[in-house]
């Protein structure tokens, strides 16, 4: 019975995807879109592969793309998966050589950078239904595509970071519930000293890593217009928040994974092994742990609140169309397909959260932890929208690392970071 209902569900899902894909096909007109007589191949690059975990790639390659192609005879989607760490380098080189693919699943931080380089098509100008499609998505995610008054992409998936805890580590700290505030973390820190369990672990000091601490601590990265960091990033509030982390680091309660030790145990392994009590991470972790640590039962809860509340950072990817594409109409058809509920829910099943708030309830039915993420997203903020976002990350990492290592003070580190980021924002 159970098996047949699962089979039925699969058939219904496949049928729905096919129908929606067919709907996309019917709504598009114009020449050069790919027909049986003159077929086109649309190339698409991304990083759906997840360290040997091919769930997301399989959903794309084996279910979604075939459904789209069946509904759009004449259009073939050729997806190439590239290691995330290398994708930006490959895109940069290919852009310089004018050899970009038609479509890219780009980290939302990269879109302004490529838009500034002139290698993307502003979809708000080329797609007549852009406004309708964008209106269905989280406004925060849509805004990551904005560069100089034009929108260069559409949100493909979203995510944020929440607190994930290991119950066994909490027990070692003598608590039963995950820490809800900075004060709770301080209490846990005292109790975990000397137990060999780290209070918190993270894999870097970029904006993705430190922003939740800064915002939840009541501080900010820049002024509201994102034109100046001095006076904001190096505020007394932020010094206090970062000093709290530095103190934990010096007490051995945060491992040196955060300061760049590539040999340290990663957060995805340290938490299930009770080496780390808490981490901040995204919804993809569930799928990774299900495969690798089937007995591990993580607890998902909001980012611990400081004086600024519980504020996390918006993450995700956008789909963008490159200016060198010779199959723009066919590529736009596929972009429309990615905005359908069938595509969004199929990817949500693999750990990629939907960008459409109207699908949040449906998504929460897939797994209870999605509700924690959806709720966190309501107050989550985007990182600085700048073509220099990767440089801003590098500035934060290179200035904060010496503070953690005790080579400089937190105030001096934040002063230096703010001044360098000012220069990068001035170049926007």
Partner 1 sequence: MTALAPRASRRRRSAGWPAATTLRYAALIVGAIVMVTPFLYMLSTSFQSQAYVLTIPPQFIPNPATTGNYTAAIGTENFLLYFVNSLIVAVISTAGSVLLSSMMAYSFARFAFRGKEAIFRLLLAGLTIPAVMLLIPQFILARNLHLLDSLGGLIFFYIAGSLSLNTFLMRGFFASIPGELDQAMQVDGANSWTRYWRLAIPLAKPAIAVATIFTFLNSWDEYPIALTMINNSDNATLPLAIANFQGQHATQWGLVFAASLIAVIPVLIVFLVFQRYFVQGLTSGAVKG
Q: Which residues of this protein are in contact with partner 1, per CB under 8 A?
A: 43, 45, 47, 49-54, 78, 80-86, 89-90, 93-94, 96-99, 101, 265-266, 268-269, 272-273, 281-282, 284-285, 288, 292-293
Structure token digits, residue 100? 């970009």
Please report which helix (H) or strand (E) contains residue 81, including its range: strand 75-81
Nearest distance in Å: CB 98, partner 1 = 7
Nearest distance in Å: CB 9, partner 1 = 26
CB-based burial label for 115 (10 Å; 0-12, 13-18, 19+): buried
- Select from 232, 160, 29, 370 the least CA-distant residue to 241: 232
The CA distance from 160 to 216, in Å, is 14
Give the ranges where 28-128 is alpha helix by DSSP (H). 55-58, 65-71, 84-96, 111-116, 123-126
The CA distance from 320 to 142, in Å, is 12
The CA distance from 360 to 43, in Å, is 30
Nearest distance in Å: CB 78, partner 1 = 7
Please identify, using beta-carbon distances, which residue of 90 and 172 lies nearer to partner 1.
90
Please identify, using beta-carbon distances, which residue of 130 and 280 lies nearer to partner 1.
280
Please identify, using beta-carbon distances, which residue of 98 and 231 lies nearer to partner 1.
98
The CA distance from 199 to 180, in Å, is 14
User: What is the three-class DSSP state of 290?
Assistant: helix
In the DSSP assignment, the letter for residue 306 is B
The β-bridge relationship of strands 276-281 and 198-201 is parallel
Q: In residues, how long is the chain?
A: 428
Strand order in the sheet with 103-107: 75-81, 40-46, 103-107, 314-321, 153-160
Nearest distance in Å: CB 214, partner 1 = 22
Please identify, using beta-carbon distances, which residue of 3 and 295 lies nearer to partner 1.
295
- Select from 346, 343, 349 the least CA-distant residue to 290: 349
Cα R_g (the chain), whole angstroms: 22
Nearest distance in Å: CB 361, partner 1 = 26
Nearest distance in Å: CB 92, partner 1 = 9
Buried b / exposed e along 31-68 (16+ C-beta atoms within 10 A): eebbeeeeebebbbbbbbebeebbbbbebbeebbbbbb
Please identify, using beta-carbon distances, which residue of 94 and 411 lies nearer to partner 1.
94
Nearest distance in Å: CB 22, partner 1 = 28
Nearest distance in Å: CB 134, partner 1 = 25
Q: Return the number of other C-beta atoms located less than 10 Å from residue 251's C-beta.
A: 14
Please identify, using beta-carbon distances, which residue of 101 and 212 lies nearer to partner 1.
101
Please identify, using beta-carbon distances, which residue of 274 and 363 lies nearer to partner 1.
274
Please identify, using beta-carbon distances, which residue of 20 and 91 lies nearer to partner 1.
91
Nearest distance in Å: CB 15, partner 1 = 26
The CA distance from 9 to 133, in Å, is 27
Please identify, using beta-carbon distances, which residue of 49 and 260 lies nearer to partner 1.
49
Nearest distance in Å: CB 402, partner 1 = 26
Please identify, using beta-carbon distances, which residue of 85 and 225 lies nearer to partner 1.
85
CB 410 within 8 A of CB 246: yes
Nearest distance in Å: CB 83, partner 1 = 4
Please identify, using beta-carbon distances, which residue of 144 and 416 lies nearer to partner 1.
144
């Amino acid at each position: 019975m159970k098996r047949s209902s699962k089979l039925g569900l699969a058939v219904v899902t496949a049928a729905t995807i096919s129908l929606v894909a067919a709907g996309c096909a019917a709504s598009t007109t114009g020449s050069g879109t790919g027909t049986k007589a003159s077929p086109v191949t649309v190339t698409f690059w991304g990083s759906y592969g997840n360290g040997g975990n091919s769930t997301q790639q399989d959903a794309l390659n084996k279910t979604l793309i075939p459904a789209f192609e069946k509904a759009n005879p004449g259009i073939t989607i050729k997806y190439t998966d590239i290691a995330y760490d290398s994708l930006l380098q490959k895109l940069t080189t290919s852009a310089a050589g004018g050899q970009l693919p038609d479509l890219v699943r780009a980290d939302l931080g990269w879109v302004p950078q490529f838009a500034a380089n002139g290698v993307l098509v502003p979809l708000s100008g080329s797609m007549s239904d852009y406004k309708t499609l964008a209106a269905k998505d989280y406004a925060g995610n849509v805004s990551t595509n904005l560069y100089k008054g034009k929108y260069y992409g559409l949100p493909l998936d979203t995510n944020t970071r929440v607190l994930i805890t290991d119950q066994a580590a909490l027990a070692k700290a003598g608590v039963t519930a995950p820490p809800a505030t900075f004060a709770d973390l301080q209490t846990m820190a005292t109790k975990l000293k000397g137990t060999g369990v780290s209070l918190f672990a993270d894999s870097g000091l970029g904006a993705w890593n430190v922003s939740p601490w800064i915002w939840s601590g009541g501080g900010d990265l820049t002024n509201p217009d994102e034109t100046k960091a001095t006076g904001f990033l190096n505020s007394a509030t932020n010094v206090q928040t970062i000093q709290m982390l530095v103190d934990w680091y010096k007490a051995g309660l945060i491992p040196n994974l955060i300061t760049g030790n590539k040999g340290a145990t990663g957060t995805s392994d340290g938490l299930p092994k009770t080496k780390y009590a808490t981490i901040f991470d995204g919804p993809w972790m569930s799928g990774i742990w299900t495969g690798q640590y089937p007995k591990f039962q993580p607890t998902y809860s909001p980012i611990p609140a400081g004086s600024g509340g519980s504020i996390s950072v918006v993450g995700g990817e956008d789909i963008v169309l490159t200016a060198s594409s010779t199959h723009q109409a066919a590529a736009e058809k596929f972009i429309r397909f990615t905005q359908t509920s069938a595509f969004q829910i199929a990817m949500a099943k693999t750990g990629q959260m939907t960008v459409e708030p109207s699908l949040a309830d449906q998504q929460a039915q897939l797994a209870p932890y999605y509700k924690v993420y959806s709720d966190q997203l309501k107050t989550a903020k985007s990182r600085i929208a700048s073509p220099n976002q990767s440089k801003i990350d590098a500035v934060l990492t290179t200035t904060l690392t010496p503070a953690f290592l005790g080579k400089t003070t937190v105030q001096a580190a934040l002063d230096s970071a703010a001044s360098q980021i000012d220069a990068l924002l001035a170049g926007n």
